[in-house]
Amino acid sequence: MTLLLVTSCSNRSTTSPESPVVIDSACTLFSPIYTHGNDAERMDVRTVRAINNHNDLWNQHCGQPAQ
């Protein structure tokens, strides 16, 4: 089996001066976790904390309030 390594010979002067565009798709892939009725009262406290942590992080990164 032959391994072929390809390296680039470019430098700053030959590359585009534009910065790469980063698209974060996490906000479309994930959403807040919603509970209904008395679900939170019946859940383990660790589960409630995990849900709250997830929703807080989603709100912080996606800029929309979790409901």
**Consecutive 10-residue averages of pLDDT for the chain (67 residues):** 54 66 76 90 93 92 66
Give domain status of residue 41, yes or no.
yes
Tell me, yes or no, whether 12 lies in a domain: no
Nearest Cα neighbor of 66 from 41, 23, 39, 30 is: 30
What is d(CA 32, CA 61) in angstroms, rounded to the nearest whole number? 12
Residue 1 pLDDT: 47
The per-residue pLDDT for 25 is 73
- Into how many domains does the chain fold? 1
Q: What is the pLDDT of residue 40?
A: 83
Q: Let me know if residue 46 belongs to a domain.
A: yes
Q: What is the pLDDT of residue 44?
A: 94
**In Å, what is the CA distance from 14 to each residue of 6, 20, 22, 61, 65?**
18, 15, 21, 35, 44
39 lies in which domain range? 26-62
